Amino acid sequence: AINNVEGLTRGIYRYLVASHELELVREGDFRQEMALAALGERMLIEANVILVLSAIFQRTQRQYRERTQRYVLLEAGHIAQNTCLVATSMGLATCAIGAFYDTDFNHVVGVDGKEESVLYLVAVGKI
């Protein structure tokens, strides 16, 4: 989700892997809804960007079979860690968040929680 980034409309975006682009999914301010779904986490209200890591397990299952869940969760952790490292090197604050109500957060970002599900959040903002 983009909240306060110059040149980008406030809203929920999807990262398109093939074209390395962001696609606006829903325009609007979703900070309050996200914070409520994340047990009142204030950083989600103050963050410029909220990276919402989600997975479509079936895509990975074709290749990794019974190890799918493990690999998907490991990758989410790696992405979050690298995001925090890069943001910190740029003088930005980060907060990795794993505490949220699955059904509520899936609803806010528009995924069904079955085929695709939210795994982890990384809030990024100016210090």
3, pLDDT greater than 90: yes
Judge contact between 123 and 44, C-beta under 8 A.
yes
Q: Which of 127, 98, 119, 123 is nearest to 42 (CA)?
A: 123
∠ CA 76-79-83, rounded to 5°: 140
pLDDT (tens digit per residue) in 47-101: 999 999 999 999 888 889 999 999 999 999 999 999 999 999 999 999 999 999 9
Q: What is the pLDDT of residue 62?
A: 86
93-118 mean pLDDT: 97
Mean pLDDT of the chain: 96
- Burial pattern 46-79, b for ≥16 Cβ within 10 A else e, equals bbbbbbbbbbebeebeeeeeeebeeebeeebeee
The confidence score (pLDDT) of residue 127 equals: 75
- What pTM did the predictor assign? 0.93
Give mean pLDDT, residues 42-48.
95
Under 8 Å CB-to-CB from 89, ≥6 apart: which residues?
Answer: none
**pLDDT at position 117 over 90:** yes
pLDDT value for 60 = 86
Domains, the chain, ordered by start:
11-126 (3.40.109.10)
Task: Look at residues 96, 59, 92 and name the one whose alpha carbon lies nearest to residue 77.
Answer: 96
d(CA 83, CA 91): 12
For residue 120, pLDDT beyond 80 = yes
